[in-house]
Structure 1
Amino acid sequence: MPDPTIHSADSLIRLGYPSSPQSAHDVLTSAGLSEDQAALVPYDLADPFSALRSGELDVLVVKFALREADLVTSKVLHFESRAAVVSSSHPLADRDTVSVEEVADYDAFGRPGAFPEYLWDEMVPRRTPQGREIRRRHRVNTIPEMMALVVNSDALHLSVASVADMAPPAIRIIPIHDLPPTPVRLAWYRGSELPARVARFIAAAEAASSVAHRR
């Protein structure tokens, strides 16, 4: 059972998330919090950890494996399946699932701004398992910019399943069956003491962890 004392917090937990807010809602729900106990903030994909380091956010939902010396991460809360973001008119749009080897036939996206290169390499690998180059030719700094470009071209983005929650009707999200799912964790700044309400939230989220696929 989540710790009931987490509901006595007198301040909102400032929780950042990378793309879809649904991933943040899921973590809140698993920890026993309601939405009115947190301020959900999409963080800047071009500089994803700056708000955490500056103290503007208390904690982030993060995906893949962080290697930031000044950030601490929780245990894995769950795993999320990989997916390709394509337009509804894309040659792959009618598929129920695709291989990452097929994805390599189309132009993909390079990392936005100061997004850590090692993390982008996990999101959008440089090569497929069979050695084919994934052409990371397009550059945008936001999810809406990415989706707008996808709608109007044959470009695609390698992402995670939850991005479907913010996809417009002209976008299809297709599962990639041969990429491993990504772990989802919480991250916080090592350089300052966590407020008690945030520490309780993290502990409750870890205690409730199912370590299972979100979708």
Structure 2
Amino acid sequence: MHHTTPHAATPPGVIRLGYHGSPALSAALLRKAGIGMEEAQLLEHDVADPFRALRAGELDLMVVKFSLGQAEPDLRRSRPVAHDARAVLVSADHPLATRASVSIEDVADYGVFDCPGTMPVDVWEESVPRTTPSGRTVRRTHTLVDVPQMLTVVRAGEAVHLSLASLAAVVPKDVKAVPVHDLPPAPVALAWCAERGLPPHIERFVRAAEAAAEQ
């Protein structure tokens, strides 16, 4: 499996799959769908402009969490191909860092991040709810710019990042991903541009990933 930039030349028949955060989930989707490691390129996309590379034709597909949002009528998504549990990223010396899991009510004691760039606001609402079940406000004290900025803020204890358990595989040792036990996991799907459709080898992967998730 290749890790490269979206501008690199792609051999014929290779799937250019965009992801954000950990590539492990994307690699698992390929493996479960029977795609060999030489048949795919994993390309990290920009969280602040998530669909740019897909629309530019630099990606064939991208892994999306939650929904696509109401403002993306030119995109299509598969049925769920996996689920990603919820977690909160905190500094290693944070009061929540030693907990086996936390509630969204615990997270509400601290500031979190607001929607980055052109990320659909309604998708961010699914990821970072504005209120807890008890009615407490989840305070959005910092705007997410990119991963390095987010980690700097989290390390400093200025905010925590309500996110996904898959990030545990890629965060540095001084940041902990603590499970959030009372938020539902995020549905994971594959998205593509409707106007380009799915070439046969891409469609085979999508259908195989959907079928593997239902087993």
**Normalising by structure 2, what TM-score?**
0.90
- What is the alpha-carbon distance in structure 1 between the residues aligned to residue 90 and residue 24 of structure 2? 20
Say whether 1:85 aligns with 2:127: no
Residue 60 (structure 1) shift: 0.6
Whole-angstrom distance in 2 between the partners of 1:35 and 1:56:
19
- Is the counterpart of residue 168 in structure 1 residue 172 in structure 2? yes
3-state SS, counterpart of residue 24 of structure 1: helix
Number of equivalenced pairs:
203
User: Cα offset for 1:137?
Assistant: 1.1
Which structure is higher in RCO with an 8 Å CA cutoff and minimum separation 6?
Answer: 1
Determine if contact 2:141/2:159 at 8 Å carries over to the other structure: no
Q: Deviations over 1:17-72 (max 9, x none)?
A: 12111111011111111222111111110010111111111001110022321111
Which one of 132, 136, 159 corresponds to residue 136 of structure 2? 132
The alignment yields a C-alpha RMSD, in angstroms, of 1.4
Distance 1:78 1:39 in 2: 19
Deviations for 1:44-102, whole angstroms, at most 9, x for unmatched residues? 10010111111111001110022321111111112111001000110111110100011
Query: What is the CA–CA distance in structure 1 between the aligned matches of 2:53 and 2:202, rounded to whole Å?
Result: 16
Query: What amino acid maps onto 1:152 in structure 2?
Result: A
Show the counterpart of 1:4.
none
Quick one: distance in 2 between partners of 1:194 and 1:93?
Answer: 43
Three-state SS of the structure 1 residue aligned to 2:201 is: helix
1:55 equivalent in structure 2: 57
Q: How far apart in 2 are the matches of 1:11 and 1:119?
A: 31
Q: How does 1:1-215 map to 2 (within 5 A)?
A: 10-67=12-69, 68-210=72-214
Percent identity for Structure 1 against Structure 2: 47
Deviation string 1:88-134 (CA, Å, 9 cap, x unpaired) is: 11011111010001100101001111111001111111111111111
| TM-superposed deviation, 1:144 | 2.5
Q: Which structure 1 residue ranges, 4+ long, deviate > 6 Å from structure 2?
A: none
User: Is the 8 Å Cα contact of residues 87 and 154 (structure 1) preserved in structure 2?
Assistant: no
CA deviation vs aligned residue, 1:165-193 (integer Å, no higher than 9, x gap): 11100011111011111101111111113
CA distance in 2, matches of 1:182, 1:140: 19
CA distance in structure 2 between the aligned counterparts of 1:122 and 1:206, rounded to whole angstroms: 22
Contact 1:86 1:154 in 2 (8 A): no
Contact 1:13–1:58 (Cα < 8 Å) also in 2: yes
Following superposition, the deviation at residue 195 of structure 1 comes to 1.5
